[in-house]
Amino acid sequence: MQQRDSGLEKRNDCPTVNVAVLGATGSIGTATIDVLHHLDRIDPTTTWNLWAASGHRNVALLSELAGQFTRPPTQIAVSDPASAATFAAGKSLAKTQLVTGPEALVEIASAPEVDVVVAAIVGRAGLESTLAAVESGKRVALANKETLVVAGSLVQSTLKKAESVAARSGPAPSTPTPSGPARSSPARSSPARSSPSDAPRSGAELLPVDSEHSAIFQCLGEQQAAVSGVPACKPRKLILTASGGPFRNASMQEMHDATPQRALQHPTWEMGKKISIDSATMMNKALEVIEARWLFDIPAESIEVVVHPQSIIHSMVEFEDGSVIAQLSPPDMRLPIQYALTYPRRLACETPTLDRSRPWDLTLQPVDRERFPALELGFEVARVGGTAGSVVNAANEEAVGLFLDGKIRFTDIVPACRRALENHHHETQPTLTRLLELDRWARAEVRKHYA
C-alpha cells in the first residue's frame, strides 16, 4: 500500500480541519480523497485530516484509501453489515476503529471531532447521515442531491434550528481554532444569502458540491463581493446547464432500444452508475432543479435549464437588470469539491485550466422536453414540494436499478416515476417517518408494475 507524503512544512499554530467522507469509495468520494491529499500538501495554514471515511460494499478500496494517509483515520464505517465482516484493515490502520451498519454513518456524521462532512453517498441512503451532519452544526459539502429531493423542506428547517442553537450559544471565534474549521467562513444555511466577508460562522453550513449548484453559489458570491457593503441583489433566474447526456441527439427509437452499456457512456463526465443513467434520462437535471429550489430557497418558476454539450459553463445566474454571470472550468469535480472544503478561500487546484490557445465553442440550446419528459416532472416536484420528491426519487432509484439489471427498458424509467407520483396521495407537510414510508411504497409500486 502506498502512503502519500504531506510534503509541506506546516506553520506551528496550524489548525486542523477534521473531515468525514461518507461514500469515500465512490466517484465523488475518491475525488475528495485526492483533494484532501492535495490540500494537505499545498496549504501551509491548515492541516487537512481525514478523520473518518465510509464505504458500503467496496471494503478493499476503503481500506486502501484509508491506508494512504500518514495520519490514519480515527474511524472507518462499513455501512453494509455483510461486507463489514470481510473488511481487512492493513497494519497502517491498526489504531483505526471500525464501525458498522447504517447507524455508523450517523455516528460519524455527528461526531464532535468532525468539522466537515462530505456527503457523497448515492441516493436516499445518504439522507439520515446528511441530516445528522446538518443537525450537529457541521459544514456539509453536499454531493448527495437526493437528500434535498426527498426532504428539502426538512433539511431547511433543520439548518435553521442548528443556526439558532449556535446563535444562542454565542458567536464562534473568527479565526481558525485548533481542531475546528476556518471559523472565518461566512457560508450560512442558504448559499444565496451568504456574503463573502469575514463574518464569523454560526452553526451548520450547507455548501454545494454538485457542479451546477457550486457554479451558482460562486456566481452569487462573486456578485456580492463586487458590491460589498451593499445589500445582496436577488437573482432573477438560476440557469442550470445540462450536457444533454449520451442521448442528446438520439431518436426516440434509439432511446427505446438503449442498453445499459450505451446509456452509461456519458459524453463529458465520469461518474457513478446511478447518476450516469440519471443524466441519460435527464432525471439528473430534474433532481437538480429540485435541489436548487431548496438549496437557494428559490421558487421553481425562477429556475431554467439550458443544454450546453461541452460542460464548461457549469451554470449561470441572471440578475434583475438582465446581466448574466456564469462560472466556467473544465469538467472536473475536484474544483467544486475543493471549493466546498476551503470556502471562502480559493487555493490552487489540480483541475486543469481551460485551454485558450485553440478556438473553442460554447453552445447553448433549449431542452427537447418531448424526448426528455423527466424535466417537467422535476419542475412539478419543485413546485408542489411535500411528499412528491420522496415518491419520484424512490421510483427513479428503483427503476434505474431495474434498467441496469436488464429488467425494464430505458424509456420505462421516467413513466415509472410519473405513475408513482400520480398514484400517491400528496401531502404538503410530511414528517421524516412519512417520507420514508412513501419511499418504500413507491419502490414497491415500481417493482409490482414490472413483476
Ligand X SMILES: NC(=O)C1=CN([C@@H]2O[C@H](COP(=O)(O)OP(=O)(O)OC[C@H]3O[C@@H](n4cnc5c(N)ncnc54)[C@H](OP(=O)(O)O)[C@@H]3O)[C@@H](O)[C@H]2O)C=CC1
What residues are designated binding site? 25-28, 57-58, 144-146, 210-212, 243, 266, 272, 279, 284-285, 288
Per-residue x/- track, 174-213, ligand DXP (CB under 6 A): ------------------------------------xxx-
Counting contacts by CB under 6 A, is residue 279 touching ligand DXP?
yes
Report 115-144 residues binding ligand DXP (CB under 6 A). Answer: none
Q: Which of residues 183-222 bind Mn ion (CB under 5 A)?
A: 210-212
Q: Which of residues 207-266 bind ligand DXP (CB under 6 A)?
A: 210-212, 242-243, 245
Total number of residues that touch ligand DXP (CB under 6 A): 11
Residue 244, CA distances (Å) to 185, 240, 283, 313, 413 in order: 35, 12, 11, 13, 17
**Residue 389 binds ligand DXP, judged by CB under 6 A:** no
How many beta carbons lie within 10 A of that of residue 97, not counting itself?
A: 12
Binding residues for 1-deoxy-D-xylulose 5-phosphate: 145, 211-212, 243, 266, 279, 284-285, 288
Residues lying near ligand X in the complex (CB under 6 A) are found at: 23-29, 55-58, 79, 120-122, 125, 143-146, 210, 269, 271-275, 333
273 interacts with ligand DXP by CB under 6 A: no
Angle formed at CA 151 by CA 149 and CA 156, multiple of 5 degrees: 105
Nearest-10 crossing angle of helices 388-404, 283-295: 150
212: its cell numbers = 451546477
Strands, sheet with 313-319, edge to edge from the N-terminal-most edge strand: 303-307, 235-242, 313-319, 324-328
For the annotated binding site for NADPH, the residues are 25-28, 57-58, 144, 146, 272
Which C-beta is closer to Mn ion: that of 210 or that of 412?
210
Other Cβ atoms less than 10 A from the Cβ of 74: the count is 18
Residues 10-49 that bind ligand DXP (CB under 6 A): none
Query: Binds 272, which of Mn ion, ligand X, ligand DXP, none (CB < 5 to 8 A, cut-off by type)?
Result: ligand X
In 30-165, which ranges are E strands? Answer: 47-55, 75-78, 97-100, 116-119, 139-142
Task: Compute CA distances 429 → 226, 331, 420, 432, whole Å.
Answer: 39, 38, 19, 10
Closest CB to ligand DXP among residues 49, 147: 147
Our CB check for ligand X shows the closer of 147 and 189 to be 147
Stretch (H or E) spanning 240: strand 235-242
Give Cα separations from 169 to 135, 163, 240, 278, 437 (angstroms).
Answer: 15, 10, 38, 42, 36
Q: Which residue has the cell 431542452?
A: 367
With CB under 6 A as the contact rule, the residue among 284, 315, 342, 390 that binds ligand DXP is 284
- Per partner kind, with CB cut-offs from 5 to 8 A, the member of ligand X, Mn ion, ligand DXP, none near residue 27 is ligand X
In the complex, what is the shortest distance from the CB of residue 57 to ligand X, in angstroms, rounded to a whole number? 4
- Check: CB of residue 84 under 8 Å from CB of residue 78: yes
Are 113 and 179 contacting, i.e. CB atoms less than 8 angstroms apart?
A: yes
Contact footprint for ligand DXP (CB under 6 A):
210-212, 242-243, 245, 269, 279, 284-285, 333
